[in-house]
Structure 1
Amino acid sequence: MNRRNLLKASLALTTLGLPAFPVFAQNTKTDPRGEPFDFDRLKQRAKELAGRPYHDNAEPLPPTLANLEPLKYQKIQYDPKYAIWRDAPDTNMSLRFFHVGMQFNLPVRMHVIDPDTQQAHEIHFDPKRFDYDDSGVDKAQLKGHDFGYAGFKLMRDHDANASHEAGAFLGASYFRFLDKNNQYGISARGLAIDTATEQTEEFPDFVAFWFEQPHDDQQALVYALLDSPAVTGAYRFKIDLVEDGTVMDVDMELHTRHQIGRLGIAPMTSMFLKGTSQAQARDTIHPQVHDSDRLEIWRGNGEWVCRPLFNPKTLQYNAFPDENPRGFGLVQHDHDFDNYRDDVAWYNRRPSLWVEPTSDWGKGQIALFELPTVGETVDNIGAFWIPEEPVQGDQQLNFSYKLHWLPLPPVQPTLAQVEKTWSGMGNVPEGWIPGDRSPSEYARRFAVDFVGDPLDDLPEGTQVEVQVEVSRGKLGMVQARRFEPIKGYRAIFDWVPETHSDEAVSIRLYLRAGDRPLTETWLYQWVPPKSDERYY
């Protein structure tokens, strides 16, 4: 099975524990017994849970569910007439739940909050709400079980014939939402623990959700309880369905059970197979294949940084120190269909995800990891915030932030932005085809295209210069020139090795006029080939 077949079925499973989003709906049967609920009670529950040993709540499923193949799992259809809030007078929004099955064997408990009494009532599993036709599920094996649910999706419209999804939570603490282009792409997570370390990565689970009934068609309030061997957490998601996409206010309170080596706040995961700087990274008919093409950072000091993504041969991990960052995100900057020519995956429609801190995050670093991938099925890119202070056991941590699921971030630099990054053979004249050359003549050429103000209105005669630094090696040719076809400027430089080392090279570049910066800062990391592979 390949990603294109899965995409056609609206199902995108990954090998990193990332969620699938089948096109099916779910079930509801409420428990008449209720209990008082508010966010403070949820915080107290998370604190008390952290004081007890961790218990893995995953349950063995009957074979008919445990052995489901992805496309069979997708065949399980939820009857929309049982959607939560379907008959609510003040909203067209509704909820549907995902069925357990395959690797989704954690019973996630769902609760609705009575708008009059503020009592929370559990919604129990009931197979009568599902259509199992063509799934191969033996319904006799479901009798007598309260499986809970695997996750939920939020619908903009509860019409039985509509499929107006806003987003979904499914698998561990993963969730993803749509923008105006209605194409799933990048995923968010509730928390990341020991990602890209020598330790085994931990995947915390949202084990229970509570839902407040909306009073309009734009906003929903969802609460979640998170649990893992290392930490528990209480979360509140205020989900606003705006014209261009989705904006989520996230408030979280964490309680740790033990020391954590690397805690990732506001984590997101995406896929990058190939782009303009890696046209031959993988052999495919599509010129570009990615859910995101860059990491953008608006630092606390006001500097804007663009780090194009890369599909490396081995794990690459980078950390960008900062204090109270103003925002960061994995961005799909290029939305031009002609640059993808893909009418199955529609990468030109993928949303960007921007994190806007709304509390004091203090000192720390924005981490970026890039894993090698040979296909489109794995989210090989991740980014998150790491607090500077070590995380100890029996500790309370609080963070608040907004998540913007939009075509582009809600804020843009006041300087010119990176449009595209290109890379090819260096130390040769443009348009010249070299003959055999020795490794000693090897160089790598990079071109960075910038567009936007203030490059648009530079006075005639302005001397534009390239400010470029490399962590090792030396610079050959360096130039900046007006690039009229894109109404911008192109910076070009050659990197020349000074040793046989194939260690990664870090590069920093921007355009300036005298002491005045004209562009955001372009950062890049490139791993040169081994010395015996340095040929054209």
Structure 2
Amino acid sequence: MLNWRSLGLLLAAWAGAASATGKDFDFDALKARARQQAAAAYSPPPEADGALAQIDPARRDAAPLKARYAPWSMASRFVPLPLAPRAGCALTLFNSIQASGIERFDYRPELFDWPAAGLPAPGPAATGFCGFRLLYPSAGDGKREDLARFEGDAWQLVGTGALFGAAALAVGVIDNDGRAQPVPFREFWLVRPAAGARQLRLYALADSPALAAAFQIDLVPGVASRADVQVALYPREGAGKLLLAPLAGSFVQGKHRPARVLPLQAEVHSVDGLAIHTAAGGWLWRPLDNPPERSAYSFLVNTPRGFGLLQRDRDASHYEPDAPQPRQPDVWLVPGGDWGAGQLLLLEAPAGSAAVRNVQVGFVPDQQPAPGAGMELGYAVHWSTDASLPRAGGWVIATRSGAGGNDGSRRYAVDFVGPALQGLPSGAAPVAVIDIGRGGSLQRQQVVANPHTGGWRLLFEFNRETDAPLQLRAYLQHADQPLTETWDYVDPPR
């Protein structure tokens, strides 16, 4: 069985043997490595030094890399900064591919400012890093800001002036309890770009007891930053169902889920809904939830045109003063090619803090790859705060719910806005199409103009005739033509 040290030596030897210049290190070579690794028994990474437990997990950058030790010159447009190891993180190895060859950037305690984290110098021993940050002068003034962060199984991008929020994940594996088990990154190879380059390519190897995976990721910074991804997955025997191209974010409370966890804050979330663009061209919006127990919902959409976790409420007055949420981006994923039949799976779990990513969504293909056979797919992921991502002509901006006028009845208010609603003929009003699932009966409905939003508000009330969750759907139309996306929500038992 390979242990971590022998695996690292093997990879280093293989990387050096692959090419003295690094030119022969490509995605095909990394796929061969991932396939070979999946055929071997899984070897877990070592435990981090116990002293690292003293670092507050909330202060992930408490011990920053000293600038003079950066893998690339601080004069570079792209500046990668490996993250200090700490207890609880998946330790990773870091390599640089440049004209002189492939260079391993090894961990040394003196690389980091440990006193800033309250630890004595020279710092603890470790065998790797917690991932890395990537800086880039996206604002055009030469000042470098965060562009990307890779840590554990998660990776994030931001656009100009934005803050980290929703994340993409390497891949998920659904276990017997319905949870998505992570597949953390183990090693990175960053291709040093030429002077003046405006995008960066990196390769990554991920590994878990269920599978090994090879990634090629091209990062393109901008007001809306983009990542173009190619991934090859190699399951081991006994792997569960794969959750492909998963996205993750946090939702603690919002308009339709009033404050019950953090009573002094009206809204706490990095994303507030799931948007889906179906293969047939339809649009669906699901407000997110912080359920009392784990929940899972499936959307039967073969190769969707796109899906994403969005932060539609960017009104700073709705959040705690100076909270980051209004500047946290939407994340939108566009599949490349035909992913075949399958479903989007939305997983939600209880959370008491925005630091917990309690929401995940990804694609579960009907045809799962067999062990040893492998599976490849491509997709693009966009991070943006400027409303430039695609959407329907009319969309939901708020969902509110409460008790109805009758005993046991429920009432919802859904606000729609968008150019399709503003383009109605003079004096015309949209009509609501509402579907109350089995176990409920619609009592009344009304569509009224909302002068505060410039759109229309749908109000409806229904009686519950079951203790089971109720599937609700609604959209607005005119002259039998849909004007908006379909609002989709599950009313929980009360």
TM-score, normalisation: structure 2 = 0.89
Is 1:85 equivalent to 2:57 in the alignment? no
Matched with 2:109 is: 127
* 3-state SS, counterpart of residue 301 of structure 2: strand
Is 1:347 equivalent to 2:325 in the alignment? yes
Matched with 2:83 is: 98
Is 1:154 equivalent to 2:134 in the alignment? yes
Matched with 2:5 is: none
- Give the Cα separation in 1 of the matches to 2:119 and 2:343: 47
- Give the Cα separation in 2 of the matches to 1:65 and 1:339: 37
| Partner of residue 405 from structure 2, selected from 424, 427, 437 | 427
Preserved contact between residue 148 and residue 157 of structure 2 (Cα < 8 Å): yes
- Give the Cα separation in 2 of the matches to 1:401 and 1:152: 22
- Going from structure 1 to structure 2, the CA distance change for 1:414 and 1:176 (only over 3 Å counts) comes to closer
- Give the Cα separation in 1 of the matches to 2:91 and 2:389: 39
Is 1:381 equivalent to 2:363 in the alignment? no
- Cα shift readout 1:309-362 (whole Å, capped 9, x = no counterpart): 12222222111111221100000011111222431x321111110001122211
Matched with 1:477 is: 444
- Cα shift readout 1:244-276 (whole Å, capped 9, x = no counterpart): 132000100111112433211111211111111
- Give the Cα separation in 1 of the matches to 2:286 and 2:178: 26
Matched with 1:24 is: none
Matched with 2:147 is: 166
Matched with 2:225 is: 246
Matched with 2:267 is: 288
What are the equivalent positions in structure 2 for 1:421-460 lying under 5 Å apart?
421-427=399-405, 441-460=407-426
Instruction: List alignment gaps of at least 5 residues for structure 1.
Output: 1-29, 429-440, 530-536
* 3-state SS, counterpart of residue 78 of structure 1: coil
* 3-state SS, counterpart of residue 488 of structure 2: strand
Matched with 1:510 is: 475
Is 1:190 equivalent to 2:170 in the alignment? yes
Q: Please report how far the alpha carbon of residue 456 of structure 1 lies from its aligned counterpart in structure 2 after TM superposition.
A: 0.7
- Give the Cα separation in 2 of the matches to 1:497 and 1:66: 50
- Going from structure 1 to structure 2, the CA distance change for 1:72 and 1:507 (only over 3 Å counts) comes to closer
Q: Please report how far the alpha carbon of residue 72 of structure 1 lies from its aligned counterpart in structure 2 after TM superposition.
A: 7.4
What are the equivalent positions in structure 2 for 1:20-39 lying under 5 Å apart?
35-36=18-19, 37-39=25-27
- Going from structure 1 to structure 2, the CA distance change for 1:59 and 1:415 (only over 3 Å counts) comes to same
Matched with 1:59 is: 46
- Give the Cα separation in 2 of the matches to 1:108 and 1:373: 28
* 3-state SS, counterpart of residue 322 of structure 1: coil
Q: Please report how far the alpha carbon of residue 473 of structure 1 lies from its aligned counterpart in structure 2 after TM superposition.
A: 1.0
- Give the Cα separation in 2 of the matches to 1:364 and 1:199: 17
What are the equivalent positions in structure 2 for 1:159-238 lying under 5 Å apart?
164-171=145-152, 173-194=153-174, 197-198=176-177, 201-215=180-194, 216-238=196-218
- Give the Cα separation in 1 of the matches to 2:306 and 2:367: 20
* 3-state SS, counterpart of residue 80 of structure 2: strand
Instruction: List alignment gaps of at least 5 residues for structure 2.
Output: 1-11, 20-24
- Give the Cα separation in 2 of the matches to 1:87 and 1:418: 44
Which amino acid in the other structure matches residue 151 of structure 2? Answer: L
Over the aligned positions, Cα root-mean-square deviation in angstroms equals 2.5
- Give the Cα separation in 1 of the matches to 2:441 and 2:365: 34
| Partner of residue 347 from structure 2, selected from 365, 369, 379 | 369
- Give the Cα separation in 1 of the matches to 2:114 and 2:368: 49
Matched with 2:487 is: 522
- Going from structure 1 to structure 2, the CA distance change for 1:354 and 1:228 (only over 3 Å counts) comes to same
Preserved contact between residue 281 and residue 311 of structure 1 (Cα < 8 Å): no
* 3-state SS, counterpart of residue 256 of structure 2: helix
In the alignment of these two chains, the number of paired residues is 472
Which amino acid in the other structure matches residue 108 of structure 2? Answer: D
Preserved contact between residue 273 and residue 285 of structure 2 (Cα < 8 Å): yes
Is 1:491 equivalent to 2:458 in the alignment? yes
- Give the Cα separation in 2 of the matches to 1:291 and 1:304: 21
Which amino acid in the other structure matches residue 48 of structure 1? Answer: Q
Which deviates more from structure 2 when the two are superposed, residues 385-394 or residues 220-229?
A: 385-394
What are the equivalent positions in structure 2 for 1:6-21 lying under 5 Å apart?
none
- Give the Cα separation in 1 of the matches to 2:161 and 2:143: 16
- Going from structure 1 to structure 2, the CA distance change for 1:528 and 1:63 (only over 3 Å counts) comes to closer
- Give the Cα separation in 1 of the matches to 2:290 and 2:257: 8
Preserved contact between residue 180 and residue 243 of structure 2 (Cα < 8 Å): no
Preserved contact between residue 86 and residue 92 of structure 1 (Cα < 8 Å): no
Matched with 1:436 is: none
Preserved contact between residue 332 and residue 408 of structure 1 (Cα < 8 Å): no
Matched with 1:468 is: 434
Preserved contact between residue 318 and residue 367 of structure 1 (Cα < 8 Å): yes
Matched with 1:263 is: 242
- Give the Cα separation in 2 of the matches to 1:146 and 1:450: 53
Preserved contact between residue 465 and residue 512 of structure 1 (Cα < 8 Å): yes
What is the percentage of aligned positions where both structures have the same residue?
Answer: 28
